[in-house]
Amino acid sequence: MDQPVIRIIDLWKTYELDGSGVSALRGTNLEIKKGERVALLGKSGSGKTTLFNLIAGLDRPTKGRIEVEGQDLKTLGEKGRTLLRRTKIGFIFQFFNLLPTLTAFENVFLSLELANKPKPQLALHALKEVGLEGKERRFPSELSGGEQQRVAIARALVKKPSIILADEPTGNLDTATGNQILELLTRMCEESGTTLIMATHSPLTCRYATRILRMVDGVIFEETS
């Protein structure tokens, strides 16, 4: 029960570019417990997205260890990491990243199909929960930014993941809409016991977090003030 949802030990990521290396992560450590709602603050280029890509198994570290629910990502292999990502991790992005040729319903349903839970009722229910009842058949281009982000929240949460990684989830929204989205996202994660990590430039996000971390040049620090 005490096992952290995410454990990161001495994590390094160096990108190789034309012979020279850029170290985006420089030996960072982190433990996140189930149900925590974390704001990860950090300047542009500090390594937030790099960290998310590694936790989701989309990219591999140069050095160090990542465990998700006690499973070492390295020993899982490519197939194991893909399965983990599809079933245990929900992603929310700054630019929503919905598939433009799919309706709101289809975007959410696809997430269920990939997680091997193809139940249309679950997708309809998730869209209702984010306040989009009646708009299931709209395409992303027929929805406002805030509505598109609601679809993205439904898509991430519908498969009941253990972790939600939200990368600048309000970066492309006005303040009022952004606050509504943060309110909705954090409330839904709290109700379902889902662990949430929000990468952000915006100190406003901290109001919705139970814990605040700061990333500086590829290393994470606990924010105390």
Ligand X SMILES: Nc1ncnc2c1ncn2[C@@H]1O[C@H](COP(=O)(O)OP(=O)(O)OP(=O)(O)O)[C@@H](O)[C@H]1O
Beta bridge partners of 22: 15
> Which stretch, 34-42, 46-54, 116-124, 127-135, contacts Mg ion (CB under 5 A)?
46-54
Residue 65 near residue 8 (C-beta atoms within 8 A): yes
Nearer to Mg ion, 49 or 186 (CB): 49
- Cα(40)–Cα(114) distance, integer angstroms: 28
The answer to whether 46 contacts Mg ion (rule: CB under 5 A) is no
Nearer to ligand X, 147 or 167 (CB): 167
Instruction: Take residue 211 and report the two structure tokens written for it.
Output: 């814990």
Nearer to Mg ion, 49 or 149 (CB): 49
* Closest distance to ligand X from the beta carbon of 147 (Å): 24
CA 191 to chain centre: 17
* Closest distance to ligand X from the beta carbon of 189 (Å): 21
Helix axes 175-192, 145-157, angle to 10 degrees: 10
- The residues binding ligand X (CB under 6 A) are 15, 17, 22, 24, 42, 44-50
* Closest distance to ligand X from the beta carbon of 193 (Å): 27
Nearer to ligand X, 62 or 180 (CB): 62
223: left (phi over 0), alpha (psi -120 to 50) or beta: beta
Burial class (CB in 10 A: 0-12, 13-18, 19+), 113: middle
* Closest distance to ligand X from the beta carbon of 178 (Å): 16
Q: Which residues bind Mg ion (CB under 5 A)?
A: 48-49
